[in-house]
């Protein structure tokens, strides 16, 4: 197996030698070989960009707009609805919930606003979500920021997460990663898994090994709560050996956890692991085909291409194994 440092710089080496051959040799054959090396280097580089462990980055994951779940209606022994609210704000919030569930968005927005103006936290969050989406009225990201901030200052983790996402995306406010990190951390400290994952993303994009180690810690907290994007990114860091000691078995474990929930990026990464073979993980084209197939079924174009490439390499026995695995999945 080629050592990792040499493997990583190989395409650059092809290009460099090719450029030297083109500029430093006189024979036509030498220049032609140089051009060929440049083409090979570019091809290998582009292929590796696709045929690698996939990881989510800022902008790949829609992280804002999380609602507070509504409470279900309750009934007494006679089938009559039981009043769930003691305050006007609670009554308005529940009216908003019921209208939202029935698709009456304009009415829902009105009731949420009434409750939000009385300081009802869940109403403030849900009103903010509607303002971002333009449900029941015009889209108004600045108003959404206002209501998220109201709830966030009262310590609501979901509002803090949504507010952090607005700062990342520059929606309703100027983009500011420092403020995003502040609000994500406040939500993450309360155990909010999406905020923990988003905090990990911000740390991973920051320069320096210590920030990578911070990213690993936050990804792990979210991954242990079953958050699939965090499981994929944590697995990718183990596969790359970034922020942690390289460990393909750990990468496999986290990919499998996310893939079991039907998460396509994890399925794609499992396909890559089995197609290439990794330290301690045998190359298995049948399993690679199965995982690429599962990701392709969810619309992953790269997975579909690799699935088609592998199809021609499978033996009759492997094709039977693939059919059995796909039928039982």
Q: Specify if 303 maps to a domain.
A: yes
Q: What is the pLDDT of residues 291-314, one digit of tens each?
A: 999 999 999 999 999 999 899 899
Q: Considering the entire predicted model, what is its pTM?
A: 0.79
Mean pLDDT in the chain?
Answer: 85
Q: Which segments of the chain does DSSP mark as H helices, in order?
A: 4-24, 28-50, 88-101, 105-117, 121-133, 141-153, 157-169, 177-188, 193-204, 209-223, 228-240, 248-259, 264-276, 285-296, 301-311, 316-328
State how far the Cα of 215 lies from the Cα of 204, in Å rounded to an integer: 5
Residues spanned by the domain of 295:
265-329
pLDDT(13) > 80: no
Q: Specify if 82 maps to a domain.
A: no
Q: What is the pLDDT of residues 88-137, one digit of tens each?
A: 999 999 999 999 999 999 999 999 999 999 999 999 999 999 999 999 99
Q: What is the pLDDT of residues 147-186, one digit of tens each?
A: 999 999 999 999 999 999 999 999 999 999 999 999 999 9
Q: Specify if 56 maps to a domain.
A: no
Give how many domains the chain has, as a whole number.
2
Q: Specify if 37 maps to a domain.
A: yes
Q: Specify if 27 maps to a domain.
A: yes
Domain boundary among 12, 29, 49: 49
Q: Specify if 287 maps to a domain.
A: yes
């Amino acid at each position: 197996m080629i050592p990792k440092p040499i493997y990583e710089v190989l395409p650059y080496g092809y290009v460099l030698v090719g450029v030297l051959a083109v500029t430093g040799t006189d024979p036509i054959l030498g220049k032609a070989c140089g051009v060929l090396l440049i083409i090979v280097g570019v091809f290998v580089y582009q292929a590796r960009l696709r045929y690698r462990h996939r990881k989510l980055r800022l902008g790949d994951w829609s992280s804002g707009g999380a609602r507070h779940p509504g409470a279900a209606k309750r009934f007494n022994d006679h089938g009559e609805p039981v009043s769930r609210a003691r305050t006007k704000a609670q009554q308005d919030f529940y009216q908003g919930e019921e209208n939202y569930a029935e698709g009456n968005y304009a009415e829902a927005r009105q009731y949420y606003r009434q409750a939000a103006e009385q300081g009802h936290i869940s109403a403030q969050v849900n009103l903010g979500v509607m303002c971002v989406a333009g449900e029941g009225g015009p889209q108004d990201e600045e108003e959404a920021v206002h209501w998220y901030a109201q709830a966030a200052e009262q310590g609501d983790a979901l509002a803090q997460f949504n507010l952090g996402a607005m700062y990342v995306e520059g929606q309703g406010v100027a983009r500011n990663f420092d403020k995003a990190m502040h609000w994500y951390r406040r939500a993450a400290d309360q155990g909010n898994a999406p905020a923990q994952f988003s905090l990990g993303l911000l740390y991973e994009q920051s320069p320096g090994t210590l920030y990578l180690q911070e990213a690993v810690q936050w990804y792990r907290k979210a991954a242990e709560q079953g958050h699939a994007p965090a499981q994929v990114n944590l697995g990718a860091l183990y596969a790359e050996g970034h922020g942690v000691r390289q460990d393909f078995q750990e990468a496999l474990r986290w990919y499998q956890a996310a893939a079991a929930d039907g998460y396509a990026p994890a399925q794609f990464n499992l396909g890559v692991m089995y197609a290439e073979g990794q330290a301690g993980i045998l190359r298995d084209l049948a399993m690679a085909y199965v995982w690429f197939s599962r990701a392709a079924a969810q619309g992953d174009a790269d997975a579909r291409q690799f699935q088609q490439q592998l199809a021609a390499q499978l033996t009759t026995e492997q094709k039977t194994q693939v059919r059995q695995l796909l039928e039982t999945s």
